[in-house]
């Protein structure tokens, strides 16, 4: 991925600051160098409001408006590493485009990304960011709880908002041999789960870590 000048960054968005984040992630268990390189390369400061750009490479979630957040880099890295663990996915469905950052990380890894966002204003902004970075990410303004069945099945599915239980429609759109990563729970307690579907369609579920995500809501907002 060849970055445009505005993506390079200076000061608190410089490569040195990004490298410090990478070392922090590595120290906290992120070992996949492909994932670390994608996070090093993709300019997170372009995915937050300009007023928050100096905090873009802190390992923390940041607000992006509409009651939504850009996820903590460790969470993005953990979810992405989990999708790649022992697998070579080609297609990935993302539920909850948000700022576009998670989708950009997936695209930087060479995956064919399909992303769905229910809040129209967020999606329009994310699309502009994808264009700025020259990324070919397919996106749709729709209710994420129904997924994107037209392009199913997907080798991997990543959900960036929490529901009390995993949505059956999303599990159905996962290909045999595929991996789904999603937070599950309510406002007081959430767990990051990994689901793997075997060749017979049987799903194995593994708990990964406690997390905090915004809720996965139905419907659409322009």
| Active-site residue (options: 14, 71, 139, 187) | 71
Q: Cα–chain-centroid distance for residue 111?
A: 12
- Cis (ω within 30 of 0) for the bond into 153? yes
What distance in Å separates the CA atoms of residue 91 and residue 114, rounded to the nearest whole number?
Answer: 8
What distance in Å separates the CA atoms of residue 184 and residue 106, rounded to the nearest whole number?
Answer: 21
Q: With contact defined as beta carbons under 8 Å apart, do 110 and 38 qualify?
A: no
For the question of residue 139 being annotated catalytic, the response is no
CA dihedral for 166, 171, 176, 180, sign (positive or negative): negative
Q: With contact defined as beta carbons under 8 Å apart, do 36 and 170 qualify?
A: no
Q: So which residues are the catalytic ones?
A: 71
């Amino acid at each position: 991925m060849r970055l445009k000048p505005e993506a390079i960054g200076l000061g608190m968005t410089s490569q040195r600051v990004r490298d410090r984040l990478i070392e922090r992630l590595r120290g906290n268990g992120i070992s996949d160098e492909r994932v670390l390189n994608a996070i090093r390369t993709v300019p997170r400061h372009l995915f937050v409001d300009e007023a928050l750009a100096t905090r873009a490479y802190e390992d923390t979630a940041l607000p992006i408006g509409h009651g939504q957040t850009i996820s903590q880099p460790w969470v993005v890295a953990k979810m992405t590493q989990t999708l790649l663990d022992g697998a070579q996915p080609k297609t990935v469905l993302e539920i909850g485009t948000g700022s576009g950052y998670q989708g950009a990380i997936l695209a930087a890894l060479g995956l064919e990304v399909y992303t769905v966002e229910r809040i129209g204003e967020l999606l329009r902004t994310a699309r502009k960011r994808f264009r700025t970075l020259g990324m070919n990410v397919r996106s749709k303004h729709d209710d994420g709880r129904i997924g994107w069945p037209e392009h199913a099945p997907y080798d991997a599915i990543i959900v960036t908002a929490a529901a009390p239980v995993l949505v059956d429609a999303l599990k159905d759109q996962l290909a045999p041999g595929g991996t789904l990563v999603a937070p599950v729970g309510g406002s007081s307690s959430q767990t990051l789960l990994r689901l793997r579907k075997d060749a017979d369609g049987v799903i194995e579920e593994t708990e990964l870590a406690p997390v905090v995500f915004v809720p996965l809501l139905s419907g659409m907002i322009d």
